[in-house]
């Protein structure tokens, strides 16, 4: 239910048994680590409604990436199941996205784009329901362009002070800005143009 739901998890899914198990799982690990802030990475759906039911004070950092880059990545990894058809996708498609996919000649790229749009729709809805001060959007491309500033922003958001050891490691880490546009080379002009049309509204809404 938590790891691989076919849809986002909402506050309505927070049945007592599920909340108790979820809370126990993370509280146990937080006690063992003994750190001031416990951080966990989720991929896929936001699950923010469910998580806030268990931990009302939880804060969420949503790392956003250009949908065209996400499509390029999905098409090249073994766990993307869209090549078997939309019924094998991790996310159900809205009727309008399915119509667009059919109109494209059942393009695999447009199918992957529908998956990204479905995810971003869920993130937008989750953000709207999360109290102010508990949600932060951070664009992946902005991290590449200015890692020091973006990591400072994230640390402050979760209430952590600057750590000299972390800052030294961050200063030594190389971030390749050219990866932001790598999707253009891997997809080619025709597919990029197809995605530009499919994703235009969502890209604008998320600052692209």
pLDDT at 101: 96
- In DSSP notation, 173-187 reads ----GGGGGHHHHHH
pLDDT at 90: 80
Where do the structural domains in the chain lie, given as residue ranges?
1-58, 60-205
On the question of pLDDT at 149 being above 90, the answer is yes
Q: Tell me the mean pLDDT in the region 16-40.
A: 95
Q: What is the sign of the dihedral through the CA atoms of 161, 162, 164 and 166?
A: positive
SS3 call for 40: coil
Tens-place pLDDT, residues 101-136 = 999 999 999 999 999 999 999 999 999 999 999 999
Which residues are 63's β-sheet partners? Answer: 138
**CATH, domain 60-205, list 1.10.1610.10, 3.90.25.10, 3.40.50.300, 3.30.70.120:** 3.40.50.300
Find, among 163, 142, 147, the residue nearest to 208 by Cα.
142
pLDDT at 176: 85
Are 71 and 195 in contact by the 8 Å Cβ rule? The answer is yes
Q: What is the mean pLDDT of the chain?
A: 95
pLDDT at 204: 97
On the question of pLDDT at 179 being above 80, the answer is no
pLDDT at 38: 94
């Amino acid at each position: 239910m938590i790891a691989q739901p076919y849809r986002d998890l909402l506050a309505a899914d927070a049945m007592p048994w599920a909340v108790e198990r979820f809370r126990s799982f993370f509280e146990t690990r937080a006690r063992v680590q003994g750190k001031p802030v416990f951080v966990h990475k989720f991929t896929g759906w936001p699950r923010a409604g469910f998580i806030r039911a268990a931990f009302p004070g939880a804060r969420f950092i949503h790392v956003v990436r250009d949908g065209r880059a996400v499509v390029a990545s999905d098409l090249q990894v073994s766990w993307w199941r869209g090549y078997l058809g939309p019924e094998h996708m991790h996310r159900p498609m809205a009727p309008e996205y399915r119509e667009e996919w059919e109109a494209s000649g059942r393009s695999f790229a447009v199918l992957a784009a529908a998956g990204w749009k479905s995810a971003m729709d869920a993130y937008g809805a989750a953000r709207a329901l999360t109290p102010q001060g508990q949600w932060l959007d951070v664009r992946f491309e902005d991290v590449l362009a200015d890692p020091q500033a973006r990591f400072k922003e994230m640390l402050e958001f979760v209430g952590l002070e600057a750590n000299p050891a972390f800052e030294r490691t961050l200063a030594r880490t190389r971030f390749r800005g050219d990866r932001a546009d790598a999707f253009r080379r891997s997809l080619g002009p025709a597919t990029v143009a197809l995605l530009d049309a499919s994703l235009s509204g969502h890209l604008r809404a998320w600052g692209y």
